[in-house]
Amino acid sequence: MQEEWIGKSRGATVNFKVKETGDDVPVFTTRPDTLWGVTYMSIAPEHPLVEKLVKGTPREAEVMAAVKKMRAGGTSEKELAEREKEGVFTGFHVVNPVNGEEAPLWVANFALMTYGTGAVMSVPAHDQRDFEFAKKYDLPIKAVIFPEGGLDEKEMAKAYVDKGEMKNSGPFTGENDNFGAIEKIIDWLDREGKGKGKGTVNYRLRDWLLSRQRYWGAPIPVIYCDDCGVVPVPEKDLPVLLPTDVEFKEGHGNPLASSESFVNCKCPKCGKDAKRETDTMDTFVDSSWYFLRYCDSKNDEKCFDPEIIKKLMPVDQYIGGIEHATMHLIYARFYTMVLHDLGLVDFTEPFERLFCQGMVCKTAYFCEKCKWLPETEVEFADAEAQNKTQGKVGKCKKCGKDGVTAEMTKISKSKLNIVDPDAMFDKYGTDCVRLYMLSDAPPDRMQIWAEDGINGAWRTLNRLWTMIVEKAGSCAPVDEAMMPTQLNSKNRDLRRKTHQCIQRVTESIEGGFQFNTAIARCNELLNMIRAFKKPINPAVLREVLETVVRIVSPIVPHFAEECWERLGRTESIFTAGWPEADAAVAAEEAIEIPVQVNGKLRSRIKVKPDESESSLRDTALADEKVKASIEGKEIVKVIVVPGRMVNIAAKG
């Protein structure tokens, strides 16, 4: 995702020239294979060449009027996306360095000054956007890449952007894979050098709000003086603090600008009256290095001591919402790389591992007139409508209008679909709410908020508690918990299950924090203890109860600590560490494997876990049920997967 966001693209910069004036107009392209199909060029309305070229020409008025209109358009991505493609001919032409051909130079609103060089070579035959523009303004279309069935420039309904054979392409004519030839063309441009162009890597890091007209954010430490110009705030005066006397008024722009005490200051250079910068930096500026400051937060000499950073960083495991993947996390990485280059940190990546948890979602309701509605303001058409997560559900209680729609989205204050967990904490306790949330779904997945399931977590904790209280007295004493060498099969089963539980929970948590399955394993073990009719061996009992409590301790820490004490432990459970499984104890004594006939389950056989292939085959074929189902049939093949299953393919 980050790769896409920084928009790294490899391509070439190609040096076009204005025919009439000789001005350079470099362009960036990722498709140098289409260089020979250029029929016009588009430059951004903000491009400095626009004014320079048309000044004093007969077309000046017309071009500048059109350019002015284009510049007036918004620059937000949304506006850009919805805008109609427009352009105006400058009256000038450019010369294509690869073949000397001339092409008209246009100004177009879809060319962005902030990307590449602000100029786009246009190949309408092989680029959809260029194609549309060419059709609109009746510009020529020249195909240079041909699919097997050929291509008719006059009949084209859209640009041809797939693979094909290169034609009319100078030294590359005849290449039958244009995409494969791109690298060669870039090499060729590099060799040919200055006149033509060179290989280039481009990025399109978007604006990340370094300056914004808001109160919240770190002030930019800059002062404007009439005489001295832009003057940085001297180090001794840092940091510049936000004023406390600002007035927040709707529609009055930046509140900082209206704070006299903030804006008015003295020039640090000449001492005359000066004005302070009122834009602030986005909070991303701070969140890009806070993890370094945290390591040495009390340091008032410098932002951090590199020695301490060396010890503590990088972060082993970063957990955050997916919404941070493309912004905060990129900035943090970028800052770290800069600090590395400055020699302040000895690593280039701040976070070793990343885990993105899913969002908690809940149905939100929308009324055309009253906008977002809380659930209580919706009059549902029927019981079914109440459970719908999309589409029309009923009337708005506020305005009475029908047609309130439901939508499943991330819980947010603005959409009025928030839940207040306090009531749940009061009723069930934080441990119980946490257990419920973690047991409901894997954490990387979106979770639909529902309180129905919390009873399950409540019951689990109550059962475990009751069990601990009842059985604590029957456990072997803490200090003498020697495991007997001989145990009956029931006790052996319980021990096996205990150690399997440790193994599987460890896997579940290490393999992506899958607490839901970890909790399921614990429930399984608890169910097994409850199903015990006879008394459990005291040593086994201590082992199993302590195991469960230790395993759930990261999820329900307060609860686990209480249980631990009840089991006679005096040290905190968090000094006990994570339990370790004994593989020998966890190993199965006997397993049951399925026997299929033609892929359908016909019987099950009990075998040793390491039963050999031939023995499995014989046991399966000797089974009564299997015999019955293959009677009168010819055995074509017997597939044996040791430890897993037997499948008999029979015909007739």
Q: Which residues, numbered 619-638, are part of the site for RNA (CB under 7 A)?
A: 637
Binds RNA (CB under 7 A): choice among 264, 299, 462, 474: 462
Sign of CA dihedral 112, 116, 119, 124: negative
Q: Which is nearer to RNA, 249 or 533 (CB)?
A: 533
Binding mask 43-72 for RNA (x = CB under 7 A): -x----------------------------
Give the position of tokens 């800059």.
222
CB of 553 to RNA, least distance (A): 18
Site for RNA in 114-133 (CB under 7 A): 115-121, 127, 129
> Does the footprint of RNA cover residue 15 (CB under 7 A)?
no
Q: Give Cα 483 distance to the centre of its chain.
A: 48
Nearest to 517 by CA among 591, 431, 443: 443
**With b meaning 16 or more CB within 10 Å and e meaning fewer, what string describes 282-317?**
bebbebbbebbeebbeeeeeeebebeebeeebbbee
Q: Does 448 bind RNA (CB under 7 A)?
A: yes
CB-based contacts of 168, cutoff 8 Å, min separation 6: 36, 37, 142, 144
Nearer to RNA, 173 or 462 (CB): 462
Closer residue to RNA (CB): 112 or 585: 112
Query: What does the alpha-carbon distance between residue 29 and residue 9 come to, in Å, rounded to a whole number?
Result: 9
Of 182-221, binders to RNA (CB under 7 A) are 202, 204, 206
- Alpha carbons 64 and 71: distance in angstroms, whole number: 10
**Interface segment toward RNA; rule CB under 7 A; list 21-29, 143-151, 472-480, 489-497:** 21-29
| Among 165, 407, 565, 582, interactor with RNA by CB under 7 A | 407
Residues 470-489 that bind RNA (CB under 7 A): none
* In the complex, minimum distance from the CB of residue 235 to RNA, in angstroms, rounded to a whole number: 36
**Which member of 24, 51, 77, 273 binds RNA (CB under 7 A)?**
77
Pick one of 80, 303, 587, 628: the residue that binds RNA (CB under 7 A): 80
What SS3 class is residue 423?
A: helix
SS (H, E, C) 79-137: HHHHCCCCEEEEEEEEECCCCCCEEEEEEECCCCCCCCCCEEEECCCCCHHHHHHHHHH
Nearer to RNA, 107 or 267 (CB): 107
CB 572 within 8 A of CB 605: no
Among the listed residues 412, 430, 506, 523, the single contact to RNA using CB under 7 A? 523
CB of 50 to RNA, least distance (A): 14
- Which residue of 357, 447, 506, 619 would you call a contact of RNA, by CB under 7 A? 447
Site for RNA in 501-520 (CB under 7 A): 514, 516-517, 519-520
Residue 49: CB minimum distance to RNA, A: 13
Of 309 and 519, the one with the shorter C-beta distance to RNA is 519
What pairing do the DSSP bridges indicate for beta strands 402-410 and 360-367?
antiparallel
- Regarding 390 and contact with RNA (CB under 7 A), the answer is yes
247 part of the interface to RNA, by CB under 7 A: no
- CB-based burial label for 61 (10 Å; 0-12, 13-18, 19+): exposed
Q: Are 561 and 590 in contact (CB under 8 A)?
A: no
- Residues numbered 420-439 forming contacts with RNA, rule: CB under 7 A: 439
What HEC string does 190-230 produce?
A: HHHHHHCEEEEEECCCCCCCCCECCCCCEECCEEEECCCEE
Tokens found for residue 79: 């506006």
Instruction: Work out the widest C-alpha separation in the chain, in whole angstroms.
Output: 109
Minimum separation from the CB atom of position 487 to RNA (A):
23
Write the DSSP assignment of 551-593 as a string of letters. Answer: HHTTTSHHHHHHHHHHTT--S-GGGS------HHHHS-S-EEE
Q: Does 9 bind RNA (CB under 7 A)?
A: yes
Q: How far is the CB of 596 from RNA (least distance, A)?
A: 6
Rule CB under 7 A: say whether 651 interacts with RNA.
Answer: no
Cβ neighbours for 78, distance < 8 A, ≥ 6 positions apart: none
81 binds RNA (CB under 7 A): yes
In the bound state with RNA, the residue whose beta carbon lies nearer, of 127 and 255, is 127
What would the two tokens of residue 55 be? 């000044």
Selected from 85, 198, 212, 490, the binder of RNA by CB under 7 A is 85
CB 160 within 8 A of CB 145: yes
Among the residue ranges 135-143, 154-162, 395-403, 643-651, the one whose residues contact RNA (CB under 7 A): 643-651
Q: Is 456 in the site for RNA (CB under 7 A)?
A: yes
Token couple for 265: 């200051």
Extended strands (E) in 583-626: 591-597, 600-607
Closer residue to RNA, CB minimum distance, 361 or 560: 361
Minimum Å gap between C-beta 402 and RNA is 21
Residues 293-332, one symbol each (x = binds RNA by CB under 7 A, - = not), give -----------------------------xx--x------
Helix axes 538-552, 489-510, angle to 10 degrees: 10
Give the H or E element holding residue 357: strand 351-357
Q: Does 278 bind RNA (CB under 7 A)?
A: no
DSSP state of 375: G
For RNA, the binding residues in 336-355 under the rule CB under 7 A are none
Applying CB under 7 A, does 373 fall inside the site for RNA?
Answer: no
Residue number, 278 or 498, with CB nearest to RNA: 498
In this complex, which beta carbon is closest to RNA, that of residue 487 or of residue 520? 520
Residue from 18, 25, 29, 629 binding RNA (CB under 7 A): 29
Residue recorded with tokens 């009337």: 395
Q: How crowded is the C-beta side of 523, counted as CA atoms within 13 Å?
A: 15
Give residues 527-556 in contact with RNA (rule: CB under 7 A): 527, 530-531
Q: Which of 110, 160, 335, 559 is close enough to bind RNA by CB under 7 A?
A: 110
Query: What's the angle, vertex CA 200, arms to CA 197 and CA 201, rounded to 5?
Result: 165
Say which residue the tokens 């129905």 belong to: 452
Nearer to RNA, 85 or 397 (CB): 85
Q: Is 109 in the site for RNA (CB under 7 A)?
A: yes
Stretch near RNA under the rule CB under 7 A, chosen from 87-95, 395-403, 523-531, 581-589: 523-531
Q: Which stretch binds RNA (CB under 7 A): 106-114, 332-340, 415-423, 555-563?
A: 106-114
Q: List the interface residues with RNA, window 585-614 (CB under 7 A).
A: 591-594, 596, 598-599, 601, 604
263 vs 467 by CB, closer to RNA: 467
Q: Which listed range, 16-24, 470-478, 526-534, 620-628, lies at the site for RNA (CB under 7 A)?
A: 526-534
- Residue partners of 76: CB distance under 8 A and separation at least 6: none
Which segment (18-26, 80-88, 140-148, 214-222) binds RNA by CB under 7 A?
A: 80-88
* Cα 158 versus chain centre, distance: 34
Number of residues that bind RNA (CB under 7 A): 91
